Amino acid sequence: MLKVATKFTPEVQAFETAKAAGFCYAEFWLDASWLSQWQTIAQRAHQHGFGNALHFPNRSDLSEVRLGESIRLYRELNCSAMVIHAPMLRRYGQWLLKHDSTLRLGVENHRLTLAEFERWAVDNTWLTLDVEHLWKFTLQDSPVDALIRAVDDFLVRFRSKLVHVHLPGYAPKFDEHRPMYCSREMVLPVLSLLADHQFDGLIVSEVNPQFQNVSELRMDVLLFERWQELRQYDGASQSSKTPRGK
């Protein structure tokens, strides 16, 4: 069963907005200051009943105290993954895994060429697939059919490594980090591919702050619910066409 999440800085209002929109899962954006408040974040997450993943800080000014707090928060919330950028993995990955070898550090793809994308997928233990980055930077805004084929090929080869997905509603010539409903023709088939490959991590509607309100986030929840309905209908239709044995 797919799990769609939203991503936000773990402030009180952000929790309430996500809950009101209908989300049950969240990815938390973190920095050193937020890590120092890890117990407060955990309490808020428990109060709202979210399933969670963490986004490791993007800046390289973290003390061992802050690193330890990222592990404590991960454990406390039983997180599905910790998203991390490649430079942060190179700097802190060894320390993190030395202190908790069970961490699933999902390295995110960014501005990669096709060859670099292949190396990223092959070389890392755990992966965070950012579909927007794949389309915009690696495939250079190719037609949507080419993106779908690329995602399918990636899942065939690397599904066992995939722990997290970023799926904003990107489309060529538009801004990044728009809601999923802004690109239905891409999002719906990607959801189906992830379901076909039995992906069980979080699929994150990663949106800019101006979209982090109940109305915009609710539209993404409704899109996901519509996909679920269509999926169930298609499954029922296929079952009804299957000849029954005597």
User: Could you tell me the pTM of the whole model?
Assistant: 0.94
pLDDT tens-place values along the chain, 246 residues long = 899 999 999 999 999 999 999 999 999 999 999 999 999 999 999 999 999 999 999 987 899 999 999 999 999 999 999 999 999 999 999 999 999 999 999 999 999 999 999 999 999 999 999 999 999 999 999 999 999 999 999 999 999 999 999 999 999 999 999 999 999 999 999 999 999 999 999 999 999 999 999 999 999 999 999 999 999 877 655 554 555 443
Rounded to whole angstroms, how far apart are CA atoms 63 and 42? 20
Rounded to whole angstroms, how far apart are CA atoms 149 and 199? 17
φ and ψ of 212, to 5 deg: -90, 65
The two beta strands, 162-166 and 82-84, are unpaired
Q: Do 71 and 98 contact (CB within 8 A), yes or no?
A: no
Tokens of 245: 């044995």
Please tell us whether the domain made up of 3-234 is placed in CATH 3.20.20.150.
yes
Dihedral-angle region of residue 96 (phi above 0 means left; psi in -120 to 50 means alpha; beta otherwise): alpha
Residue keyed to tokens 């409704």: 222
